[in-house]
Amino acid sequence: MSFKFRGKVFSFALSQGLFSSAGIDTGTEFLLKVLSRQWDAAKRQGKPLPQTVLDAGCGVGVIGICVAGALLAQGDSTLLPGSFHVRCQDRDELANIITEYNAQKNHIPPGLLSSRTEPLLGGPLHARWDLIVSNIPAKAGKPVLADFIFRSAALLNPGGSVLIVVVNPLSDFVRSQIAQAKVPLQYEEQGREHKVFMYGPLGSASFPYGSMAYPFEGPLEPVQGAGHLLRDYPMYHRRRGDYVMEGLAYSLDTIQGVADFDTPSEAVQAAAKLMTRLKGEKLRVSPQGSILIYEPGQGHFPRWFLAYLAQEKKPEEVSWMYRWVFFSRNILALEASRHNMSHETVLTIPGLDLSVNRKSLAAALEPESRAYDLIVGFPQFVPQTDRIIPLWEGLQELLSPGGVGIMALPASEAERFDRKKPPGFHRLGDCKRHGFRALGYRVLPGVSS
């Protein structure tokens, strides 16, 4: 997909697995048009262009790459590579990888643009920016959007700006949050479907942390993860709920930006149903064995599985004996599921799939094993891609001899997955639930590598 910004033509690879897969989003186009006019006005007034830029929620990197390319094309001696930097970040590891690819495709030097898997306003502690840009996702939730307004204004350098575009139904809410924060509103422009706001920075006479104006406690620094997202950033918390699957009760906290916040998905419930049919003696998870949960979401399945293990084994054997590894494209899902495992020690790894990331998943284990006794996965299939064979390749390389793999898939994908079963796997069971199937297999000796 080609796109022109400030006289320079850019080329972008899009993805069926990310936002706006059919073309450049109209909100992104609108934001970049406004940004270009603002830069023209700044140049006429003799103001410098930004040297530190954050593209928050970058998707495939359109905004950040256009900004970086335009800055590079200025020909100004003060804007040479190394004198300015654009940081693109998104909660989705696929967005991170495609942004890196698109930066290379458009000949953006690595020292000028970096791509990271981070929350909207995550990043290095004490980081400050001349410009923060975002086509902010409406589905982030109003508490997260409210925090974005306050926090982004506080993360600006003196003279900096935040430029965001939102869908029209959110424009009144965003404007009210800007006013509530007493952040200078520099500019706003109404479009057909979107509205652009330009505001900031937060002045020294701003509200105190924890005041009525800012409903969340803690300093307005870049959002940090490391297993403390829900504790330190309550705006991400959605609800605390009690749930029952297969007769076993459990509780967990749900988080904004991750699916299954009201109820476990049909795929998760199918996997739990299959697990109860297999019974504990068929799992053969060795003492101090390793369990990999692929795309854990909010943590429904691993949290339920703890209750299941407690029923099958002595309570003192449940907590300490397993090494848990969670693996997902969505780092917010990793934060949520790790949080919901309470006192369990969980290693989280962002990545795309079992095959692409098999080396990092193997390296997460003790050197003497490098294999998992149990892998339970809820793969997210991207349209127009075939991940069946790579999924089997990952299971072959990551499961220990005698280990069990359980995959919960849409029924159409499950049928294809089962047909592609390679030699050396024995099917243990199959459970169907409302358009989904959970399939269980044991790997026979000599298959795992």
Q: pLDDT of the chain along its 449 residues, tens only?
A: 888 999 999 999 887 667 655 568 899 999 999 999 999 999 999 998 999 999 999 999 999 999 999 998 875 544 555 568 999 999 899 899 999 999 999 999 888 999 999 888 988 888 999 999 999 887 888 899 999 999 999 999 999 999 999 999 999 999 999 998 889 999 999 999 999 999 989 875 455 555 666 767 766 888 887 667 777 788 888 889 999 999 999 999 998 889 888 899 999 999 999 999 987 556 666 656 899 999 999 999 999 998 888 886 655 555 556 789 999 999 999 999 999 987 778 899 999 889 989 999 999 887 766 789 999 999 987 766 778 999 999 999 999 988 999 999 999 899 999 999 999 999 999 999 999 999 999 988 764 44
Domain boundaries, the chain: 2-224, 232-443
Residue 374 has a CB neighbour count (10 Å cut-off) of 22
Neighbours of 20 (CB within 10 A): 17
As a whole number of angstroms, the distance between CA 99 and CA 14 comes to 10
Strand ranges (E), 304-392: 323-328, 346-350, 372-377
Contact in structure between 38 and 70 (CB atoms under 8 Å): no
Residue 385: predicted pLDDT: 72
**What is the b/e burial string over 217-245, where b = at least 16 CB atoms within 10 angstroms of the residue's CB?**
eeebbbbbbeeebbebbebbbbeeeebeb
Q: Do 2-224 and 232-443 fold alike per CATH? A: yes
HSE-up of residue 301 (Cα within 13 Å, Cβ side): 31
Q: Which CATH class is domain 232-443?
A: alpha beta
Chain Cα centroid distance, residue 222? 16
Q: Which pLDDT does position 421 carry in this prediction?
A: 95
Using alpha carbons only, how large is the chain's radius of gyration in Å? 24
Structure tokens at 321: 């004996």
CATH of 2-224, one of 3.40.50.1220, 3.10.450.50, 3.40.50.150, 3.30.540.10: 3.40.50.150
What is the spatial distance between Cα 373 and Cα 402, in angstroms, rounded to a whole number?
7
Cα 448 to chain center, whole Å?
A: 30
Q: Distances in Å between the alpha carbon of 436 and those of 245, 266, 316, 425? A: 16, 6, 34, 21
